[in-house]
Structure 1
Amino acid sequence: MAFSTRFTVGFMATICVVCSALVSVAAVTLRDRHQVNALRDRQRNVLVAAGLVERGEKVSEETVAELFEARVKTLVVDLEEGTIDTSIDPTTYDPRRAAQDPEQRRRLAENSAGLVATAPYELVYELTDEDGELDAIVLPVAGRGLWSTLYGYLALEADLVTVRGIAFYEHAETPGLGGEVDSARWRASWKGRRAFDEEGKPVIAVTKGPAPPPEDEPHEVDGLSGATITANGVTGLVRFWLGEEGFGPFLARYAKERGR
Structure 2
Amino acid sequence: MRLHHSLTIMLFKVISKGGWSVMHSNQYTLIFTSVLTIILASLLSVAAGSLNQIQKLNVEIDSKKNILSSLGFKESDDEKWTTNEILELFNSNIESYVLDKDGIKTDINIKSIDPEYDYNNMPIYINKTENGINGYAIPISGKGLWSTLYGYFAIEPDGMTAKGITFYAHKETPGLGGEVDKSWFQNNFVGKRFIDDKGNLVGIKVVKGKADVDSDYEVDGISGATITSKGLETFLVDDLRKYEPFFKKIRNANS
Length-normalised TM-score, structure 1: 0.79
User: Which residue number corresponds to residue 197 of structure 1?
Assistant: 196
1:248 matched to 2:247? The reply is no
Look up the match of 1:104: none
Give every structure 1 segment of 4 or more consecutive aligned residues whose post-TM-superposition deviation is greater than 6 Å.
none
Q: Structure 2 length normalisation: TM-score?
A: 0.80
CA distances 1:26-55 after superposition (whole Å, capped 9, x unpaired): 222112111111100111111121120259
* C-alpha spacing 1:55/1:163, structure 2 compared with 1 (3 Å): farther
CA RMSD, 1 decimal: 2.4
Matched, 1:95 2:115: yes
What is the 5 A alignment of 1:40-119?
40-54=61-75, 58-78=80-100, 80-86=101-107, 88-96=108-116, 99=117, 118-119=118-119
Map Cα deviations across residues 59-110 of structure 1 (whole Å, 9 max, x no partner): 11111111000111122122x3322221x222343334xx2xxxxxxxxxxx
Q: Which has the higher contact order (CA 8 A, sep 6+)?
A: 1
Gaps of 5+ in 1: 100-117
One-letter identity of the residue aligned with 1:147: W
Shift of 1:136: 0.5
Task: Determine helix, strand or coil for the equivalent of 2:122.
Answer: strand
SS at 2:22's partner residue? Answer: coil
Q: Distance in 1 between matches of 2:205 and 2:86?
A: 31
Q: Which runs of 5+ in 2 are unaligned?
A: 1-19
1:184 and 2:183 matched: yes
**Aligned partners of 1:49 and 1:153 also within 8 Å:** yes
Q: Given the alignment of the two structures, is residue 20 of structure 1 paired with residue 19 of structure 2, yes or no? A: no
Which position in structure 1 is the counterpart of 2:220?
222
User: Which residue number in structure 2 is paired with residue 125 of structure 1?
Assistant: 125
Write the distance in 2 (CA, Å) between the matches of 1:77 and 1:65.
Answer: 23
Q: Which residue identity is paired with 2:171?
A: A
CA drift of 1:132 comes to 5.8
Bigger-Rg structure (1/2): 2
Give 1:172's aligned residue. Answer: 171
Instruction: Specify the alignment match of 1:111 in structure 2.
Output: none
Percent identity over paired residues: 35
Deviations 1:103-124 (A, max 9, x none): xxxxxxxxxxxxxxx5432321
CA distance, structure 2, for counterparts of residue 25 and residue 38 of structure 1: 20
Number of residue-to-residue matches in the alignment: 232
Question: What is the match of residue 6 of structure 2?
Answer: none
Distance 1:30 1:55 in 2: 30
What is aligned with 1:30? 51
